[in-house]
Amino acid sequence: MTALAVAVGGAIGACLRAILMSGIAATVGHRFTHGLAVVNVLGSFSFGWIIANVDPNLHPLLLTGLCGGLTTFSTFAHSAVELLRAGRFGAFVTTTALNLAGSLVAVACGAALAGH
């Protein structure tokens, strides 16, 4: 049953990521390299809030599944490498800082908002 919960949450999270990333690209253009950071920070904030505020029995669905499907470290890593290969060092530094620092701060803020 846990695997099913993770699968359902993961499918929803991955679809939500695709919708958000497409919406960001359509709104600000494909050269905006930080849409992934927006998704990762949002997912990290949600993770912090959920872990502090939601029944642990729902964690497989919401944390491993939904937040795991919404956020993506591998896509971030690929994007960062591609920015380096293209010589876009400023964009590389910015996207790395937004993804890493932004996600760490977002988890803490989500947990703090939940009173944890």
Our count of domains for the chain comes to 1
Question: Is 115's pLDDT higher than 90?
Answer: no
Report the alpha-carbon distance of residue 81 to residue 84 in Å, rounded. 5
Give the pLDDT of residue 55.
96
The per-residue DSSP string of 13-81 comes to HHHHHHHHHHHHHHHH-TT-TTHHHHHHHHHHHHHHHHHHHS-GGGHIIIIIIIIHHH--HHHHHHHHH
Contact indicator for 21, 71 with CB cutoff of 8 Å: no
**Mean pLDDT calculated for residue range 2-15:** 97
| pLDDT for the residue numbered 34 | 76
pLDDT average, residue stretch 88-97:
93
pLDDT tens digits along 15-72: 999 999 999 888 887 766 678 889 999 999 999 999 999 999 999 999 999 999 999 9
Q: Which domain, by its residues, includes 96?
A: 2-113
